[in-house]
Chains A and B, each alone.
Chain A
Amino acid sequence: MTASVFFGCTFIAFGPAIALFLFTIAREPLRVIFLIAGAFFWLVSLLLSSLVWFISVQISNKDSAAQQKGLLIFGVVLSVLLQETFRFAYYKLLKKANEGLLALSQEETMPISIRQLAYVSGLGFGFMSGAFSVVNILADSVGPGTVGIHGDSQHYFLSSAFMTMAIILLHMFWGVVFFDACEKQRWWAVAAVVISHLVVSCLTFQNPEYVGSLVPTYIIMFLMGVWAFYSAGGSLRNLRLCLSCIDKDFLLANHRPR
């Protein structure tokens, strides 16, 4: 407990996301604004799903633990579906805004491309989702206490932090794939994103059997990352050239603005 656990878990959970933010988003005010707007959309989806869950709890039998757990599972599934719906809504909104801007400015390129928007909005969703999942837990970890004193898992904080990191990165990958799929009208890809989100959330029902939930989540995250990389225009060749820094002109020349 206390400071070391707090800082350790905070950096595990938010480290990659904050690094991404600082290096790619912080300098561009437009991207920051769209990130915040994305976070806001996620928040609204959470609000709606909590509303539905709350109503269902009120009309249910509060003494039955099994029923409450069932309702919670229902809440989780509903929340995932609502999140994806709001992602789609955000996509539609951004498309409209971009078209409007393009029409007004009579220029070839838009100030921010739809791919950048996909990345930024995915990260926005991820930030908010991660923050809501883990902030209260982190606040608790600063204080005194013994983890798992009643027989629960001792790795509660650490596993929460790792799960949060995976979720944030996953949201970003989902955002990229989702927007790309919507752009190219590939609805099967959209469905795949929704299903993978559901799978990840349902895997957490196994907690505290962390092996069963964390390992598959990370596998899914890796796969989604590769998919997002390819849908964003990456390829093995690009990767090799980028890593070996051979031919910058080639990389620049191949960059097609969207």
Chain B
Amino acid sequence: GEAMNTSDSDDDFYNERTALVPSENPVVDANVKCSCDAECRPLLVQPGASRRSGPACVDSGGSDQEVDADDEELTLKYGAKHVIMLFIPVTLCMVVVVATIKSVSFYTEKTDQQLIYTPFTENTPSVGLRLLNSVLNTIIMISVIVVMTIFLVVLYKYRCYKFIHGWLILSSLMLLFWFSFMYLGEVFKTYNLAVDYPTVGVIIWNFGAVGMICIHWKGPLQLQQAYLILISALMALVFIKYLPEWSAWVILGAISVYDLVAVLSPKGPLRMLVETAQERNEPIFPALIYSSAMVWTVGMASPVDAQRSEYETGPPLHNSCFLHRIMGNEGWTEYQEHLYDQKQLIEDMPEALMWGVKLGLGDFIFYSVLVGKAAATASQNLHLCMCEVLCPTIHLCLTCLYLSQALPALPISITFGLVFYFSTDFLVQPFMDNLAAHQFYI
């Protein structure tokens, strides 16, 4: 399945983070405004990438017509498998967020601090003014995201890879060290544990260093996936804490609309990003996409395999290829040799293994924000959580059914999420409460 979405939200967020706590933290350079907003939004893979080129990858002699029929069934089965493999991490991320929200009260405490992207306060008594403020906040946030996206696309088009890569590294650095330090501190406070600084230092150093290596270089697949889940959860928690109530909902809605537009319209920045990457046969920011696939294919790298490159597959698990690219052409030879070794390995494997369904980290984050907000609102609302958990799965199910096209991950899930949230809160909850009081069963 080619539902590839890229997102780089963490950059965005930790930038906001530094803006948020100016006194404790030296202000980060203005030019370290990450590409996060740009990559934040989930990307679409080139819709032209059709699964028909799949079998052609391995046996280049096969005719398209014959393989189509078998292909469909294979598609469905393996697509379903990978969709379920994506479902588990999404659920895990949501579980982490909900567990944190329910136990660590820090993330649900009302605070007057807000992100600089949402300057208008919601502490006003009048409903109209509050609504207006939240809409204004949303407009500011979305325009920041649009600007950053365009900036990223421009950078990418002009091959400023070093800049982008440095940006990514800096953002994940902040995330893995600073945010997790804060999180750990709050957990210790909640459970009243006294831990000394050297211990915390060792823990955070190890956690962060291993995380950086896993995400940006090589690492066991499961460890990499675990880190991606953790940083998405951390980001979602920051969002839940620092976005004002109504602004958060309006922003969620606006982002799903933006996602739809940016990905599907021909001049959308994200679409241009994907197309450029496809032209150059490059993977896009592999460090910040979650993928279910375990085998990396040569398709993306060598210009000889240009026809195979249409086939968007699992990300370079061994990100060395990406690094080599970044370093310029000196690594090209080693790169190709590296590819060659892998190629032999790959040709022996069934083609199905080459597939992967991808989901951007921004999607993880927004799903978790949806669920987290549901968990944060009231203590009795487990029904809300359950509803919210369902929503990404709807997207994933549809992904499975429409594997030949990529779907923007956010709009469907967030629409359902919002609909279910408000309707469950106002309609279903009283109904179920009344039923439970009388012990009626439906």
Q: Is the CB of B390 within 8 A of A30?
A: no
Given contacts A33-B397, A47-B423, A54-B427, contact A207 B440 (CB under 8 A): yes
Tell me whether A29 and B81 are in contact (CB under 8 A).
yes
B427, A163: Cβ atoms closer than 8 Å = no
A183 to B196, CA, bound (A): 68
> Is B383 within 8 A of A200, CB to CB?
no
**Does residue B267 face the partner (Cβ distance < 8 Å to A)?**
no
* B residues in contact with A129, CB < 8 Å: 442
Assembly CA distance A224 to B155 (angstroms): 65
Among the interface residues B83, B427, B432, B434, which one has the most CB atoms of the partner chain A within 10 A? Answer: B427
A151 to chain B, nearest CB (A): 14
Asked if A167 is an interface residue, CB under 8 A from chain B, the answer is: yes
In the complex where A30-B77, A79-B442 touch, is A137 in contact with B431 (Cβ < 8 A)? no
Residues of B within 8 A of A79 (CB): 442
Contact bitstring A10-37, B, C-beta under 8 A = 1, else 0: 0000000000000000000110110011
| Closest residue on chain A to residue B383 by CB atoms | A132
Interchain CB contact (< 8 A) of A54 among B81, B387, B426, B433: B426
**A141-173: which have CB < 8 Å to B?**
156, 159-160, 163-164, 167
A33 touches B428 (CB 8 A): no
Known A40-B390, A46-B428, A51-B423; judge A101-B76 contact (CB<8 A): yes
The total of chain B residues at the interface (CB under 8 A) is 41
The verdict on A43 contacting B83 (CB below 8 Å), with A36-B390, A111-B76 known, is no
CB distance from A248 to the nearest CB of B (A): 26
Give B61-81 interface residues, CB cut-off 8 Å to A.
69-70, 72-73, 76-77, 80-81
Please tell me if the beta carbons of B439 and A101 are within 8 angstroms of each other in the complex. Answer: no
Across the interface, name the chain B residue whose C-beta is closest to A47.
B423
Say yes or no: A80 contacts B442, CB within 8 Å.
Answer: yes
* Mask of A34-58 contacts with B, CB within 8 angstroms, 1/0: 0011011001001101110110010
**Closest B residue, CB atoms, query A167:** B441
**Which of chain B's residues 399-442 have a Cβ closer than 8 Å to chain A?**
400-401, 420, 423-424, 426-428, 430-436, 438-442
Known contacts: A101-B76, A163-B441, A204-B441. The answer to whether A131 contacts B436 by CB under 8 A is no
The reply to whether A208 and B439 contact each other, CB–CB distance below 8 Å, is yes
Known contacts A29-B81, A30-B76: does B436 contact A75 (CB below 8 Å)? no
Complex-state Cα separation, A37 to B395, whole angstroms: 11
Q: Which of A1-9, A102-110, A115-123 makes up part of the contact surface?
A: A102-110
Determine if B441 and A136 form an interchain contact, defined as CB atoms under 8 angstroms apart.
Answer: no
The reply to whether B427 and A72 contact each other, CB–CB distance below 8 Å, is no
B440 touches A201 (CB 8 A): yes
The answer to the question of A76 belonging to the interface, with a C-beta cut-off of 8 Å to chain B, is yes
Q: B382 in the interface, Cβ–Cβ < 8 Å?
A: yes
Q: In the complex the two chains form, is A200's CB within 8 Å of B441's CB?
A: yes
Tell whether, in the assembled complex, residue A107 and residue B69 are in contact, meaning their CB atoms are under 8 Å apart: yes
Q: Which residues of B contact A135 (CB under 8 A)?
A: 382-383, 386
A132 CA / B394 CA spacing, docked (Å): 19
**Residues 67-107 of chain B, each 1 if its beta carbon lies under 8 Å from chain A, else 0:** 00110110011001101100100000000000000000000
Q: Which residues of A contact B432 (CB under 8 A)?
A: 50, 132-133, 136
Known A80-B442, A131-B386, A136-B382; judge A33-B427 contact (CB<8 A).
Answer: no
Chain A residues near B84 (CB-CB < 8 A): 29, 32-33
Taking CB atoms, residues of chain B closer than 8 Å to A54 are: 426-427, 430-431
Q: At the interface, yes or no: A187 with Cβ under 8 Å from chain B?
A: no
Residues from chain A with a CB closer than 8 A to the CB of B438 are 69, 72, 205, 207
**By the criterion CB–CB under 8 Å, are A139 and B80 in contact?**
no
* Complex partner residue of B400 from A33, A105, A200, A205, CB under 8 angstroms: A33
Judge whether B428 and A136 touch: CB under 8 Å.
Answer: no
Residue B225 interfacial (CB < 8 Å): no
Whether B393 sits at the interface, judged by CB under 8 Å, is yes
Query: In the complex, what's the smallest C-beta–C-beta distance from A132 to chain B, in angstroms?
Result: 6
- Contacting residue for B431 out of A40, A50, A73, A104, CB 8 A: A50
Q: Which of A33, A105, A200 has the most CB of B within 10 A?
A: A33
B426 neighbours in A (Cβ, 8 Å)? 54
Give CA–CA (A205, B442) in the complex, Å.
10
Q: Name the residue of chain A whose CB is nearest to the CB of B432.
A: A132
Nearest A residue (CB) for B394: A40
A contact residues around B387 at 8 Å (CB): 43
- CB neighbours of A105 from chain B (8 A): 69-70, 72-73
Q: Are B73 and A76 in contact (CB under 8 A)?
A: no
Contact B439 A36 (CB under 8 A): no
Q: Which residues of A contact B439 (CB under 8 A)?
A: 156, 159-160, 163, 204, 207-208
Interface status of B380 (Cβ within 8 A of chain A): yes
Q: A95 vs B393: C-alpha distance in the bound complex, in angstroms? A: 21
- Smallest CB–CB gap between A213 and chain B, Å? 8
In the complex where A101-B72, A135-B383 touch, is A33 in contact with B431 (Cβ < 8 A)?
no
Determine the chain B residues whose CB is within 8 A of the CB of A106 once the complex forms.
69
Using an 8 Å CB-CB cutoff, how does the interface string of B104-143 with A read, 1 for contact, 0 for none? 0000000000000000000000000000000000000000
Complex Cα–Cα for A112 and B70 (A): 15
Which residue in chain B gives the minimum CB-CB distance to A204?
B441
Q: Which residues of B contact A167 (CB under 8 A)?
A: 441
Contact of A76 with B69 in the complex, beta carbons under 8 Å: no
Tell me the A68-116 residues at the B interface (CB within 8 Å).
Answer: 68-69, 72-73, 75-76, 79-80, 83, 97, 101, 104-107, 111
Contacts A33-B80, A136-B432 known; list 17 others, CB within 8 Å. Answer: A33-B400, A43-B390, A43-B420, A46-B442, A50-B423, A72-B435, A104-B69, A104-B72, A105-B72, A105-B73, A129-B442, A132-B428, A133-B432, A136-B436, A201-B440, A207-B438, A208-B439
19 A-B pairs (CB sep. < 8 Å)? A36-B393, A36-B394, A36-B397, A37-B394, A47-B423, A50-B427, A53-B431, A68-B434, A72-B434, A72-B435, A72-B438, A101-B72, A105-B72, A105-B73, A107-B69, A133-B442, A139-B382, A163-B439, A205-B440
The 3 closest A-B pairs by CB, nearest first: A29-B80, A207-B439, A29-B84
